[in-house]
Structure 1
Amino acid sequence: MDDLILHQYEASPFSEKVRLVMGMKSLAWRAVTVPMMMPKPDVVALTGGYRRTPFLQIGADVFCDSALICRVLDRHAPAPALYPAAASPLQHVIESWADSSLFWCAIPLAMQVGGLAQRMAGESPEFMKAFAADRAALTVGRARPGPADNAAHLATQLRWLESLLADGRPFLLGPVPCIADVAAAQSVWHLRRAPLMADTLAQFPRVAAWYTHVNAFGQGRPTPMSSAEALEVARSSTAFASVRVEPDLGFEEGARVTVAATDYGSDPCEGALVGLSLDEAVIEREDERAGRVRVHFPRLGYQIKNVKH
């Protein structure tokens, strides 16, 4: 069986979400450290333009977006279940909220109150300027609330989590962990890395206790891998995950299409459509360095467009 290769970097919140799943399932995985900002030539060789972090590689299959990566990992290692029936469909709603609304107030606020300076300690002014420009390009078109707004938004959402935990349950939806827990935990993890957020987090003791349970999952068993090695894995692979284009979804098998995120980092990836369902879109593309690869995207949060000739 091909290795699980996670392309990530240490300070990436969505990478932490996936690392917690690796830990929950006690998985061995290869860790490729990708650049924090563009240019990312080895990333683009595998994804065709998708620049967000992380993405998961299994052979020549490349899975983008943490929501899809988590589903792939759960199929790869079904026990313990990441989507237990006991957690109800509410777990998917909470994941979607945590990956969007909670994330987009927690992460900017942590940076605004000094988290960015701490994380970038020792970097040159030129690097800081380039990083700011990179993130501005990544989030073009998004509103940028100030610290007071983000602090108010965060307090409201942490109160929601505190209320969920009021009956003493160890996890958000009951006695067993689920996707909701790792999705919400990534933002708390990031907040905890900003020293000036300590007083805010101290107001939510149940959230702190819950996070201790989730953080105890660990990160599984990572071993380093270079991006050159990962490219060679893709280039030498000859098998792909089984996919098909389901009927009546508006696109034909083999059509030349682009796939792009609809929220941020909306760089389009172009290829031949080889898989499509209500859950996933898959394009096949050729790259001179990575060879023939198939890039998988979740259907939710992404748009598909036919390429006009």
Structure 2
Amino acid sequence: MSDLILHHYPQSPVAQKIRFALGIALADWHSVEIPRLPPKPLLMPLTANYRRVPVLQIGADIHCDSQNIIRAIASAGHANTLFPDGCVGQAMALAGWAETAMFDLAVRIVITSAIGTAPPEFIADRGALYFEPDWTEAGMKVALPAVILQLQAHLAWTDDMLSATGFAIGSKLSYADAAIAYIAWFLRGRWDGGAALLAPFSHICALEEMLVGRGNGNTTEMTAEAALAHANAHEPATPTGIVAGFDAGLQLGQQIMLRQRGQTADPDVYGRLRYLDDTRISIDHTSPETGAVAVHFPIAGYVVSAAAPL
């Protein structure tokens, strides 16, 4: 069976970014659907307590965060389609900008607009993940027009960028296009005002339509229990060592903690340092459900520090 196992749920915008990328790559992959809200008892044993989605599993190697997931998919034989002509740096930089400049604004718009209609527990959970600790529903509603104006400005720049060829980089589809299209997909599908805001930006809309039409690759359903058993039947296949130019004084095998950037309710992640380079950090983790797994994170966007031994 395919080595690519994606843990996700259909409504997740970040998972849709990865699904668009799998469609660009025409990849074969297994789909494991997980709950939108905690607890996630069939996911978090794999991830050392990391709760966000999507998560990519390849045997007993568990890749967290879309930055890391896309590099793992590329390394599994899809580099030429996701990063044509060696555009890795350009595509990753554009994707990082889209996430911090546009997606954060889009999340505020969608969640604020859903107040009063979405389940209160969903609003509370997502607010704790994405907003300031002292956020209030009233304050979010007051700020909403200014947030929409900010996003509109970024959409205008992005649409102009696409105007030359219809693609983010050169004249070929790449991961950078998925990183733009998913924001349009999210706004259109989850906010009543999304279609109207997007309508003037014809190049963004055309790119979104292209990727929706292309599909999400070739998918086979898999149960979460089967994915856990799959991890237990394998061993991590990724390397060990420290090859970063700056290692922050960390040592191989040392207990470390990873914390999501910013002020968020995400739980901290603990494990023993397995690997460190300039862009990726990996920890060893063991659970009864999975046996020994390696859990991989990007460096960008995470605070990494030594932790007291458990």
Q: What's the counterpart of residue 175 of structure 1?
A: 171
C-alpha change, 1:2 and 1:205, in structure 2 (3 Å) is: closer
Instruction: Quote the offset at 1:22 in angstroms.
Output: 0.9
Gaps of 5+ in 1: 121-127
Structure 1 letter corresponding to 2:127 = A
Q: What's the counterpart of residue 208 of structure 1?
A: 205
Deviations 1:126-173 (A, max 9, x none): xx1221222233235367753201210111011001211233x12122
Q: What's the counterpart of residue 258 of structure 2?
A: 259
Equivalent residues of 2:163, 2:203 under 8 A apart: yes
Corresponding position: 1:225 with 2:222: yes
Q: Which moved further from structure 2: 47-56 or 240-249?
A: 240-249
**TM-score using structure 1 length:** 0.89
Equivalent residues of 1:51, 1:265 under 8 A apart: no
Distance 1:186 1:162 in 2: 14
Q: How does 1:63-212 map to 2 (within 5 A)?
A: 63-78=63-78, 80-85=80-85, 87=87, 89-114=89-114, 117=117, 128-139=119-130, 141=132, 146-167=143-164, 169-193=165-189, 194-212=191-209
C-alpha change, 1:50 and 1:276, in structure 2 (3 Å) is: same
Q: What's the counterpart of residue 293 of structure 1?
A: 293
Instruction: Quote the offset at 1:93 in angstroms.
Output: 2.3
Equivalent residues of 1:24, 1:80 under 8 A apart: no
Instruction: Quote the offset at 1:8 in angstroms.
Output: 0.3
Distance 2:220 2:74 in 1: 20
SS in 2 for 1:258: strand
SS in 2 for 1:97: helix
Structure 2 letter corresponding to 1:21 = A
C-alpha change, 1:113 and 1:224, in structure 2 (3 Å) is: same
Corresponding position: 1:278 with 2:278: yes
Q: What's the counterpart of residue 236 of structure 1?
A: 233
C-alpha change, 1:240 and 1:166, in structure 2 (3 Å) is: closer
Percentage of identical aligned residues: 29
Distance 1:31 1:189 in 2: 20
How many residue pairs were aligned? Answer: 299
Distance 1:141 1:196 in 2: 24
Q: Which moved further from structure 2: 200-209 or 57-66?
A: 200-209
C-alpha change, 1:87 and 1:4, in structure 2 (3 Å) is: closer
Equivalent residues of 1:253, 1:275 under 8 A apart: yes
Instruction: Quote the offset at 1:114 in angstroms.
Output: 4.9
Q: What's the counterpart of residue 125 of structure 1?
A: none
Q: What's the counterpart of residue 305 of structure 2?
A: 305
C-alpha change, 1:222 and 1:115, in structure 2 (3 Å) is: farther
Q: What's the counterpart of residue 27 of structure 1?
A: 27
SS in 2 for 1:267: coil
**TM-score using structure 2 length:** 0.89
Instruction: Quote the offset at 1:273 in angstroms.
Output: 0.6
Q: Which moved further from structure 2: 194-203 or 54-63?
A: 194-203
